[in-house]
Chains A and B, each alone.
Chain A
Amino acid sequence: MKKAEQPFHFMTVSYLTRIANEMATTLAQLKQGLETCSDTSIFYHTFQTLSHHHFLTQGFSNDFAQWVLAGCNRPELAEHLASLDIRDYLSLAELRADLQRLVSDYCEQYPHEAEQSAFEPFFFYEAIGVEVPLQMEAWTLQEFRDGLEKLSHAAFHFHFIASRLRLHLRTNDFSYWLESALDLGKLARQVNRIDIYTNTLGSALDRIISLVEKELHS
């Protein structure tokens, strides 16, 4: 079994939620908030919310879309916001720009609706992450598989979803290591293709373990 030159270091992260003293009661205020809120707020309502609601495999993608649908009853805009796939973004600035553009275009097109009060306010939160190493590393595919089995949802989210913002690549920590350290490009691509919107964090992790086991037995 091939031994990597660099091990995979398993990490986890735990998030505090900070109340951002900013809220929106109309689409126009949401547009304003998207301009002024912090990057950690954009992260909270898109990347982290996927972890919060990961067990919902239908109809939930990010907090902005959910509020526009449930709080403002604007399904068209909600669908557009929900269609943003966080895997397409390598920085929060790009994601913020697209969120702003969608809300801004809608407000321009429907100025009357932009000022209508929502059923409930949207509160901006911020995610404060504390990263902690898990004292667990993998040098081989077997050790990698054993490590995967011990990952919490937070650790899995850190390596598989939030990692794009760290790597600035359209991949995740697992795929990056599988390809660069073990030269397993095909497995890396299979792992990277797993749909995080139609899987729970648990089922996505199970799929990866299953793919790795298949590779181990091939």
Chain B
Amino acid sequence: MSETMPIPLLITLDDYTPVLGEPEVAELRTLAARLQMRTVQMVNSTAMGGGVAEMLNRLIPILQELGLAIRWEVITGGNDFYEITKAFHNALHGGPYTMPPESFDTFLAYNEQNLLRLQMEAEFIVIHDPQPVALIRTRRDRSGHWIWRCHIDLSRPNPAVWGFLEPWVNRYDGAIFSSAEFARHLPVPQYLFYPSIDPLSEKNRELEPELVRSTLERFGIDPQRTILTQISRFDRLKDPLGVVRAFQIVKRYFDCQLVLAGGGASDDPEGEAVLSEVREAVGNDPDVHLLNLPPWSATEINALQRGSTIIIQKSLREGFGLTVTEGLWKGKPVVASAVGGIPLQIIHKHTGLLAHSVEGTAYQIRFLLSNPAIAERLGEQGRAYVREHFLITSSAKRYLTLFLHLSGGR
């Protein structure tokens, strides 16, 4: 059943000082001073794979080093549980819900089973996403501070599934969303916590220019010429065909190459179909590089982003859009669609450029290629914006502040 995850302690807080500066790291320690040995439990449904586990893998060691007595619990369940929660996930994004009515009972039974093993007695309990939401039934006498952290977009949920989950959510002391657009009107306080990236992770750490150059060459990309890149799964919602069309417009004016890199075409039939459509649209253009990368390609993605002239994210729908965050962090000018969480990151003409169509995307790219000084300024400001708001240390600070707020500053 449930398991408590070992907490990795490889990177220390001091390692963030060159990125953030001494005062910002010292401030984390100051905030944490009142929370020494206060107990925290974070609960989610997977230890590996997926953005939440990736974030907890970095966040929890930081909070532990800051002196909080923090535990990470992962709930477990049978295949039927995960089929239901996968169906929940799709339905909460607005899709239909076709599971039988008794699936709700199965969901609750697995939450109950997990409670037989979990001791939910920390002062601050953060439950991530819908899978463990019903663990709050163990709460007695308003003990502890229970917070529900929702990482998904609830703006258009399937009414049946949300109608089942909402009463559980309303029993919490508060809910955290990644964007106001993703939130619901709830009777409990709702907080805004942006998702974040780790600047020291393999996907985001600084790379030697030689490694960047050799990676580009390994993929047949010419480092001396302009490179436009979109990193995304081969998924229609990421609009790779739109990217190709925008590139074809830009190419009439500028000598450039296009890199479309991402996974999802090997283990996903739809991904394979999308990749085929993109291949057909590209034809035999040698300046377009379609890279179907395996999941362990963090360094390659880092190098591709760092070697690019402009990063594109022409999604039709998007969650928060952490690939945009990654591009901004690398100081690159980013041209992206104004969807999902992207406008939270790209303040048009300040930290990047927003577009609403293929033609608009092409125009913004042409504008940046014609105005490299503006592109450089956008890149610098985008990086500064990420440093202040979208790094894992900002997430740690938000949790410290939340815990202090919930405990009345004591």
Contacts and interface: CB of A to CB of B under 8 A. Distances in A.
A19 B180 contact: yes
A55 B180 contact: no
A203 B349 CA distance: 22
A120 B343 contact: yes
Interface string A1-40: 0000000000010111111010100000000000000000
B192 A130 contact: no
Contacts of A130: 31, 401, 404-405, 409
Contact of A12 (B22, B30, B192, B351): B30
A154 B404 CA distance: 16
Interface string A28-70: 0000000000000000000000001101100110000010001
Given A14-B397, A16-B402, A155 B23 contact: yes
A53 B350 contact: yes
A119 B348 CA distance: 13
A106 interface: no
Chain B contact-residue range equals: 35 or more
Given A150-B22, A152-B23, A155-B27, A17 B192 contact: yes
Contact of B347 (A19, A66, A123): A66
Given A123-B181, A135-B30, A151-B23, A18 B347 contact: no
A150 B180 contact: no
Contacts of A150: 22-23, 26
B177 interface: yes
Contacts of A70: 347-348
Interface residues of A, number: 34
B405 A16 contact: yes
B260 to A, nearest CB: 28
A135 to B, nearest CB: 7
A162 B238 CA distance: 42
Contact of A16 (B34, B191, B389): B191
A23 B343 CA distance: 16
Contacts of A66: 347
B22 A56 contact: no
Interface stretch (B3-11, B182-190, B244-252): B182-190
A197 interface: no
Contacts of A153: 23-24, 388
A71 B191 CA distance: 23
A56 B381 contact: yes
A21 B185 contact: yes
A66 B351 CA distance: 13
Contact of A23 (B26, B180, B385, B398): B180
A62 B409 CA distance: 29
B189 A18 contact: yes
B400 interface: yes
B134 interface: no
A6 B370 CA distance: 57
Contacts of A176: none
A132 B405 contact: no
A160 interface: no
Interface in A61-120: 66, 70, 119-120
B338 interface: yes
A72 to B, nearest CB: 13
Contacts of B347: 53, 56, 60, 66, 70
Interface in A119-145: 119-121, 123, 125, 128, 130-132, 134-135
Given A16-B398, A21-B185, A155-B27, A125 B192 contact: yes
Interface of A: 12, 14-19, 21, 23, 52-53, 55-56, 59-60, 66, 70, 119-121, 123, 125, 128, 130-132, 134-135, 150-155
9 contacts: A14-B397, A18-B190, A52-B389, A53-B347, A55-B385, A56-B347, A121-B181, A132-B33, A150-B23
